[in-house]
Amino acid sequence: MNKKVRIAVLVSGGGTNLQALIDAQKKEILKSGKIELVISNNSNAFALKRAKKNNIPFEIIDKKDFEEKLKEILKLYKIELIVLAGFTAILPADFVQDYDKRIINIHPSLIPSFCGKGFYGIKVHEEALKKGVKITGATTHFVNEIIDGGEIIMQKAVEVYEDDTAEKLQKRVMEFAEWIILPQSVEKVCKCILKNILEEK
């Protein structure tokens, strides 16, 4: 069967995690799903340039009527799995419930540490350094109505060094955890979705 899960990646910034997914697709680490669409809530996101360069269709949705437009676009592209890769907006609870186990997020810490409301971007690593943890990492999880509260898919630990700054730590967590487990998690979930489709037939 050649069916692949149709994936939309939601981004707001640099898009290095999107790039990791694109690279994984090329290397066939991600082979049970295909990135069909990139959606951004920020028209200046560098992630959009990455989409363009790789011939992936992209859409920009601004704040106004965001939910309505998002639903419309996802339907139009027949999207079956949503990946939040550095997407800064919180998706409304009713939307999230409609996509139960169909939305994946990547968070730059080992959940349940340094997660939840207010823990995003560099702040996560600043707090990890403040606490003096010796190990941190990244977590992929399904999205539910609780911020960073959905079922965990994968985690990978990264060592914290004595002379770390938040920026250095952020970079290490991305390189040695996020860019590895995000594509692996997406493949794992896509495989599962395909298996369920086959069994339903």
Q: What gap in Å lies between CA 156 and CA 177, rounded to an integer?
A: 5
16 belongs to the binding site for ligand GRF (CB under 6 A): yes
14 belongs to the binding site for ligand GRF (CB under 6 A): yes
Which has the closest alpha carbon to 176: 190, 153, 162, 155?
155
Scan residues 39-98 and list those touching ligand GRF (CB under 6 A): 47, 85-86
Q: Based on the residue annotation, tell me whether 125 is a catalytic residue of this protein.
A: no
Q: What gap in Å lies between CA 170 and CA 36, rounded to an integer?
A: 28
Q: Give 113's strand partners.
A: none
Taking a C-beta distance cutoff of 8 angstroms, is the pair 173, 125 a contact?
Answer: yes
Which position among 107, 125, 141, 172 bears the catalytic label?
A: 107
CB of 135 to ligand GRF, least distance (A): 17
CB of 60 to ligand GRF, least distance (A): 15
| Of the candidate residues 15, 33, 150, 183, the single one contacting ligand GRF (CB under 6 A) | 15
CB of 136 to ligand GRF, least distance (A): 12
Show the tokens assigned to 159.
């060592």
Segment interacting with ligand GRF (CB under 6 A) among 7-15, 28-36, 69-77, 188-196: 7-15
Helix (H) / strand (E) element for 7: namely: strand 5-11
For ligand GRF, the nearest residue by Cβ is 86
Residues contacting ligand GRF: total by CB under 6 A:
13
Q: What gap in Å lies between CA 27 and CA 41, rounded to an integer?
A: 28
CA separation, residue 129 to residues 31, 161, 188 (Å):
37, 10, 32
| Of the candidate residues 9, 22, 106, 115, the single one contacting ligand GRF (CB under 6 A) | 106
Return residues touching ligand GRF (CB under 6 A): 13-17, 47, 85-86, 106-108, 174, 178
Q: Which residues are catalytic?
A: 107
